[in-house]
Structure 1
Amino acid sequence: MIVMIAAVAENNALGKNNELVWHLPNDFKRFKTLTSGHYIIMGRKTFESFPKPLPNRTHIVISRQEEYQPEGCIIVDSIEKALDICPRNETTYIIGGGEIYNLGLPFTDKIEITRVHNSFEADAFFPEIDLEEWEIIESVFNTKDEKHLYDYTYQTFSRK
């Protein structure tokens, strides 16, 4: 199963200058829980936004730079090649950024969104989720608190 996972603002913003524009510790915990032990597919800029590779995950990085070879990663030049490397009988996560989400959407079976209830200035955006093709199968609202400046909702979408 191919699953996209992202934290997305009301205006579909993902981030600006290769950084998230909000801080939601519970979302980081959920991301870690869901993706640990799995293959994760991302673009080069998303990979470079991490201080180091994420533990207990197989990193597949999509890059057009032929000489790009960070340690401990599998480098490919297309979403199709990235998906071909992943085991068919396991869940694979597409983790961003905006361009990779657009490329991966046709191959995706499920989308895990943390919808941040605010709009932000951004330079990377998640693709529009077409409700003719997708249905929400789970939705859990979370209220802002001392560690979370914004209300947010975990939404799980399944392809119809």
Structure 2
Amino acid sequence: MITIVAMTPSRVIGYRNAIPWRLPEDLRWFKQTTLGHPVLMGRKTFESLGKPLRGRANLVVSRTFSFDGVEMIPSLARFEPGRYEREVFVIGGAEIYRALLARCRQLLVTHIKAEYPGDAFFPAYEHLFRPTEEICDAGEFRIVRYERVEKMPQAEKCRK
């Protein structure tokens, strides 16, 4: 799985169940990157969108919610991303990011350079991922790819 997120320097990802900034170029990049892939989100994120994202299988985590054109995921503990033909993108919100971050192999982060008010935050990730590529720097924001840091087993550290 790949997590895709836009955040401020203080890790704000949302405010009052909406995105507090408007960056059309980043939205185009998000669409281009996720098109044709399953996108996994929480119910609140789906409700903030108002409808399924076109050209993508929309997977919504909820035990009770249902919506036409959306696959419901009743439990993250039993969610199997490998059953989909293409890589699953985790697109939010904060609770979903927190629950799945350790299961993702890659992060695609839009680092917004300005601060915005917020009440939803992205969790700490630096201990799990390292930057591997700056995809673009668009002035107001930059997009960076992060790969999972593979920890060496203790026994391997002692071998010569």
| TM-score normalised over the length of structure 1 | 0.86
- Is the aligned partner of 1:71 residue 2:60? no
**Residue 50 of structure 1 aligns with which residue?**
49
Residue segments in structure 1 that go unaligned for 5+ positions in a row: 144-150
Aligned 8 A contact 1:41 1:82 in 2: no
Aligned counterpart for 2:95 among listed residues 96, 99, 105: 99
**Residue 12 of structure 2 aligns with which residue?**
13
**Residue 23 of structure 2 aligns with which residue?**
24
C-alpha spacing 1:85/1:8, structure 2 compared with 1 (3 Å): same
- How many Å separate the matches in 1 of 2:22 and 2:123? 21
Amino acid at match of 2:41: M
- How many Å separate the matches in 2 of 1:24 and 1:40? 20
**Residue 35 of structure 1 aligns with which residue?**
34
**Residue 153 of structure 1 aligns with which residue?**
142
- Is the aligned partner of 1:137 residue 2:132? yes
- How many Å separate the matches in 1 of 2:3 and 2:9? 17
**Residue 147 of structure 1 aligns with which residue?**
none
Cα deviation per residue 1:39-97 (whole Å; 9 max; x = unaligned)?
A: 11000000011132111100110014x2x11111111222233335742x521100000
Q: Report how many aligned residue pairs link the two structures.
A: 148
Aligned 8 A contact 1:40 1:95 in 2: yes
**Residue 59 of structure 2 aligns with which residue?**
60
Q: Which moved more, 1:19-28 or 1:49-58?
A: 49-58
Residue segments in structure 2 that go unaligned for 5+ positions in a row: 150-160
| TM-score normalised over the length of structure 2 | 0.86
C-alpha spacing 1:141/1:25, structure 2 compared with 1 (3 Å): same
